[in-house]
Amino acid sequence: MRYLSLFFLLLVPSLLVAQQTFYQPFEVDSVAEPRGGLSYLGSFIQANLRKPIQAEALGIGGRVVLTGVVETDGSVSDIKVLTSLQPDCDREAMRVFNLFKAWKPATKAGKSVRQLVTIPVQFKKSTPFVYRNGVRIDYFGKDGKPLSADSSQAVYRRMTPLDTNQIPTGDVVVYERKNGLWNEYFRLLLVRKKHAQKNSSGKFQYTLGTQNYKQDWEGIRLVVDEDNKRISEAYYEKSMPVGPSLEFYPTGMVAEKGDKVDEKTVETAWYANGQIKHVKTFNKESPLSESEQITALWDSTGSQMIKEGNGRVTYRNREESNRDTTTSTMFIEEGNYENGFKQGLWTGRYEDGSYYYEEQYDKGVCQSGKAKSLGKDTVQYNEVLKQAEFSGGMSGLGKFLSENLHYPTKAQRANAEGRVFVSFVVCTDGTLCDYEVIKSVYRDLDEEAVRVVKKMSGKWTPGYHRGEKVRVKYNLPVNFSLH
């Protein structure tokens, strides 16, 4: 037993040494590389990188160089800083590098092996500002243009309470300097709205951000969970979204990023392991069927199915079965893309045989289609998705509102005005249900908006999806103006 124990003591260190062995790039037959390519790894890093607020306040820019070992399962271990910028930036670079787990491992003698990689992470320079006691301070000239921190020429000063993760913690207050004194000019109120439903993790979600006097979003708007972890992020100027919008995985990794370019939005998406998923362009000016143009698409293994808008693709998604609504089945769709648009024959089927469709496309526009659900007749259609519509269209809707909307006396006396947003569902028989005020202005105005919307019930043509009537959710702005 004594010799056996000694044998195990000698064996364990040997195994640890074997597990710790890794190769340099020049020692392998094929080097480790990110699935999708190095350029998309760079895009992933920049999409996820969030400069620490102290570094951003100082305007610091520079490069952190990291090393790590790509494991045979595509993850990275033993991440170390080779070239430091400053501690908080180093930690952020390591956080983002650790999120990416979509490496194609190195091979040697026909086997996957561990390999050392070196990755630079670039932090862009930024305009310095003052960050003191949890408040960001920005200065502006008479023309409203930003000035350097602590500028003696400043006419306006903006105070933005932010925590170290740059999540707003209080009202944004703008001061105006007159006769050498700073006086409050206006403020944006911090709003935190609890969502009705919990997320998939069983936590409540909150919309968090600042609103102007019209209750329109101004500045950052976040959706966070109970722990203040980001779920989505967008930025508003003059009540309009500007800059990139982000959606996040529970790990904190960016799932989707939308960049506005002219009248289009370019959407980049990633799988949960960090591998690139797709690049799409949405044109809001195009008809619904032509609004989406796909540039590139990869499957979960890193194989590129669509390149420069061309290729054949198979989509697999889990859907509720038409055979048994308590179970799910795989929904498999197949077809070709040409120049970013669907072209020719597209088919879709539920794996359990409870649903099937067939469609013909020309430059992204459905020319004809037929679909069959279990126990129902085959339906023919020319539009995949047909929106629910008020009788008489948009002009009829406008006329109905102008004829039926009344301005409450109490609201007039209070000088209350603005747009109330009412959410409702158009049911398959044209009636309405599930009313909800999603943007309030004043109690009496909210109640009047809901009253008028309820009066529209039964005056709608239902929506259709592949020839079948479906419930459609609408958000309707109801405007109240005293001028």
Domain positions in the chain are 20-123, 129-236, 389-480
Which residues share a beta bridge with 423? 436, 475
- For residue 308, with 0-12 CB atoms within 10 Å meaning exposed, 13-18 middle and 19 or more buried, which class applies? exposed
Section 428-447 average pLDDT: 92
Q: What's the N-to-C CA distance of the chain in angstroms? A: 96
pLDDT digits (tens, 9 = 90+) for 182-232: 999 999 999 999 887 787 778 899 999 999 988 889 999 999 999 999 999
- Name the percent of the chain lying above pLDDT 70: 94
pLDDT digits (tens, 9 = 90+) for 327-353: 999 999 999 999 999 999 999 999 999
CB atoms within 10 A of CB 240: 10
Q: What is the CATH number of domain 389-480?
A: 3.30.1150
Query: d(Cα 136, Cα 164) in Å, to the nearest integer?
Result: 11
Section 273-291 average pLDDT: 76
Beta strands in 292-399 (DSSP E): 292-298, 304-306, 311-320, 328-338, 341-350, 355-362, 365-373, 379-381, 385-386, 389-390
**What is residue 262's predicted lDDT score, i.e. its pLDDT?**
78
**What is residue 3's predicted lDDT score, i.e. its pLDDT?**
46
pLDDT digits (tens, 9 = 90+) for 349-388: 999 999 999 999 999 999 999 999 999 999 999 999 999 9
**What is residue 196's predicted lDDT score, i.e. its pLDDT?**
77
C-alpha atoms less than 13 angstroms from C-alpha of 231 in its C-beta half-sphere:
17
**What is residue 150's predicted lDDT score, i.e. its pLDDT?**
62
This prediction has a pTM of: 0.84
Which CATH architecture best describes the domain 20-123?
2-Layer Sandwich (3.30)
Query: d(Cα 275, Cα 299) in Å, to the nearest integer?
Result: 9
Question: Which alpha helices (DSSP H) does 121-241 contain, by range?
Answer: none
Section 231-252 average pLDDT: 91
Mean pLDDT of the chain: 91
405 vs 216 pLDDT, higher one: 405
**What is residue 20's predicted lDDT score, i.e. its pLDDT?**
60
**What is residue 393's predicted lDDT score, i.e. its pLDDT?**
92
**What is residue 19's predicted lDDT score, i.e. its pLDDT?**
52
